[in-house]
Amino acid sequence: FVVIMVDDMGYGDVEWNGGLAYTPHLNEWRSSPHTITFNRGYAGSPLCSPTRASFLTGTRPDTTRVWSIGPYFRERMVNGSGNSVITLPQYFKDYGGYYTVGAGKIFHPGSSSGGDSKGHCNMGDDQPYSWSETYWDCDQYDDGQVQSPAMNNCTNGHGCKQSDQCLQCLAKWNCYTGPVNYQQCVCPADCDDECFPDNLAATQAIKYFQQVTKKRN
């Protein structure tokens, strides 16, 4: 069972629904007989953290009491129910017998998912509730640098990391110094794939699949 979450990409943005985003792999995945496409899915909020908390707990923002980036739903939910709420990966882990792993950005990192306020070394990720092993963080700052304990040189250095060559290449293309923080979404930086968080997270996800395959064999 695989869940992919994408910041700020609506159903109308994807290629198969007439959007401008170039999504060949998602197009292929959607056409598989083993996938289900939901045509009436709606975001709980026009903001990252409350939407993720709402989707992953199956409750509305009025229940999570999360309407902004920062609060942790387990500490804010109505009637003190945060510690007993079951998240989507937690359900698979605790009640379905699944081994749950994640890479990239599922819960909003930092204090929004139980980590420290800046999300440098303890990025939260709703651990240990939702995951069977340490979550593999790979978020991104507006300056192009990826955000993870590994990139921040923490002692628990887990997650993605860019090389100095990658940072130099991204700086060369001037993708992260514009007047608006979404400039990187449209900047055609000609850098190696491993310079971008999407590729780094996808590579880690493939490694997880390969590990499962080896265990089965």
What pLDDT, in 10s, does the model give residues 53-73?
999 999 999 999 999 999 999
Mark 49-88 as b/e (b = at least 16 C-beta within 10 Å).
Answer: bbbbbbbbbebebebbbbbeeebbbbebbeeeebeebbbb
Instruction: Give the mean pLDDT of 155-162.
Output: 89
**Per-residue pLDDT at 205:** 94
**Per-residue pLDDT at 37:** 78
CB 39 within 8 A of CB 47: no
Indicate the SS3 state at residue 139. strand
CA distances from 127 to 58, 137, 187 (A): 18, 12, 34
pLDDT mean across residues, the chain: 87
**Per-residue pLDDT at 212:** 83
CB 41 within 8 A of CB 48: no
140 backbone dihedrals φ, ψ, rounded to 5°? -145, 135
Selecting among 25, 108, 175, 185, the annotated active-site residue is 108
Selecting among 48, 121, 154, 187, the annotated active-site residue is 48
Q: What is the pLDDT of residues 106-155, one digit of tens each?
A: 999 999 999 988 768 999 999 999 999 999 999 887 667 889 999 999 98
**Per-residue pLDDT at 140:** 82
Instruction: Give the mean pLDDT of 15-23.
Output: 82
The model's pTM = 0.86
State which H helix or E strand residue 136 sits in: strand 136-137
Q: Which residues contact 130 (CB under 8 A, 6 or more apart)?
A: 56, 87, 88, 89, 90, 93, 100, 102, 107
**Beta strand 103-104 with 136-137: parallel, antiparallel or unpaired?**
parallel
**Per-residue pLDDT at 180:** 52
Q: What is the DSSP letter of 38?
A: -
**Per-residue pLDDT at 184:** 53
- The answer to whether residue 48 is catalytic is yes
- The answer to whether residue 185 is catalytic is no
